Chain A
């Protein structure tokens, strides 16, 4: 899919990136004003990865997501009001107030859930791929995870199972350069995380994670491979999170200059420049407005929704 020259695709990519940005800015604001509790892991600066990846997916395809998962959820097609309601501890939230930001999910659009355990979703994605394969289905599973996940046992076990069974899974590493405060330069000895693919006998590729087209192309190729029964691919998308790891992060481990350098590579601003000829200034502004209005409406709807009720709390532990 040509996200640059095709106006409809460009528009969809831009609106979705802006929606993720505005959604997380709203979350940041609500949190600062004491209207949202818990903790939040914002993906501001990383919007190109979920947008590029999810545009390569079809209805029925699955994703597994991470603690930094608002972008994945939005890009896969979730309803903003229900997401915001979940974060605001409302009964109408996707998880009825039981999951919050870290466990946001929208099973109807194939999002099997965000995960508070960094590599927790990786073997789960392999299992979803196994289910698809055993049913003879055509669906694929995209497993999103960060650079912090690749040193956990679950990551290696999940990737290996997908590899040996040729499962239709695309492993997308959002390398945002820090596992909390642990810099990638201190966390592994390979130059690029995609080199790890060789150890499992699958293709590995590193792409510019601030370029939705680059992410999309790599994921689309991997999806084609997966649908053809040729097994998984590991894609490393290099990007950067502008904000701290979570709300308690004092940013003691990186410099203002480093953050500034990456802000200059803002995936949204760069994408707007690249699609200027396709969309034109007016259309670009309309994309921004659309995203802003959608997030505002979501915040309003969520605020108006009833609070999550404790009446049925213990009943939701077991399925009937």
Chain B
């Protein structure tokens, strides 16, 4: 990195996404957006905002409600030389578009022996916490991470919302960007420069000695909050944010667990066959296994659809207190 301090401002996560989109469109004529209500409406979560006034209706393209068609059109446009960025209003609706995501976008480069690429981005708000119930609140990262040919990123900070999206747009492969809806209004320092992240590079958000918490999405700020509480109680936790699930920076996770000897893996998605099972296996298959002082522990969403009632919704996914309890238990018991 350069020695010159990067110019940063405080932006919300949503503003950071918008800035990445604007900078990518300014830098490259081939980049354009398409999705439901991304134009004058400004996006279901307000992410695209005023972009239609800055770039026009051709490049900020409102679509009918046709998720399969939208993603298919992006695949075709990417094949024909453009760099489409699709917004799917809620990540749950990717189920409608799964054929184009899984059978087309992910596989075309491979099926054609490398003769064509599908450089497209699919942005989708993910996660629970808004009272939107079972069809508007899911965390589906494991679906996508399981498919060879897709890349998957989960930005947890405003700076990452920008840097990971810029990396996704620059990447010659289809990249799924799962933005967390509870993070859209969170503020943080964001560099002005259009500097993309390197996909496959985790961030150690906090460094501790007693255990390593690996967390994704909104569980990253929750884990950092939990780590503050744990520190007050004499437990020093590392918090590692993979940022990019595929490719995955297993080394940073393994290194940190090797140092602390304990791993608490926190995800919002249901436990069974979730992405943290992959992280657990990554640690278990590595030399870190020999340094473990405790079994690898997972704290995940319950294996239930996300319910409506706020008290039920909170109970369905890990909260700060749950993380504190699980971490304390892991350290005290072993």
Contacts and interface: CB of A to CB of B under 8 A. Distances in A.
Interface stretch (A21-29, A91-99, A177-185, A266-274): A91-99
B25 interface: no
B72 A318 contact: no
Interface in A21-65: 62, 64
Contacts of A94: 112-113, 115
A72 to B, nearest CB: 15
A147 B173 CA distance: 32
Interface in A137-173: 141, 153-154, 156-158, 160-161, 164
A244 interface: no
B111 A103 contact: yes
Interface string A118-147: 001011111111111011000001000000
B179 to A, nearest CB: 22
Contacts of B69: 123, 126, 154, 156-158, 160-161
B99 interface: yes
B76 A129 contact: yes
A219 interface: no
B114 interface: yes
A123 B120 CA distance: 15
B263 to A, nearest CB: 27
Interface residues of A, number: 45
A65 to B, nearest CB: 12
Contact of B113 (A117, A154, A316): A316
Q: Which of B73, B79, B82 has the most CB of A within 10 A?
A: B73
A120 B100 contact: yes
Contacts of B63: 161
A112 B116 contact: yes
Interface in B73-125: 73-82, 84, 99-100, 103-104, 108-117, 119
B149 interface: yes
Contacts of A64: 76
Nearest to A313: B110
A173 B75 CA distance: 21
Interface in B48-75: 58-59, 63-64, 66, 68-75
Nearest to A315: B114
B208 interface: no
B32 interface: yes
B172 interface: yes
A105 interface: yes
A317 B247 CA distance: 12
B84 to A, nearest CB: 8
Nearest to A103: B111
B135 to A, nearest CB: 18
A186 interface: no
Given A116-B103, A154-B99, A319-B117, A131 B76 contact: yes
A191 interface: no
Contacts of A122: 72
Contacts of B109: 316-319
Contacts of B46: none
B58 A117 contact: no
B72 A157 contact: yes
B148 interface: yes
A212 interface: no
Contact of B76 (A98, A117, A130, A164): A130
A154 B76 CA distance: 13
Contacts of B115: 94-95, 105, 107
Interface string B117-145: 10100000000000000000000000000
Which of A97, A112, A141, A160 has the largest number of chain B CB atoms within 10 A? Answer: A112
Interface of A: 62, 64, 93-99, 103, 105, 107, 112-113, 115-117, 120, 122-132, 134-135, 141, 153-154, 156-158, 160-161, 164, 316-320
Interface of B: 32, 58-59, 63-64, 66, 68-82, 84, 99-100, 103-104, 108-117, 119, 148-149, 151, 172-173
**Would you list the 6 A-B pairs with minimal beta carbon distance, nearest first?**
A127-B76, A123-B72, A157-B69, A96-B113, A131-B80, A127-B73
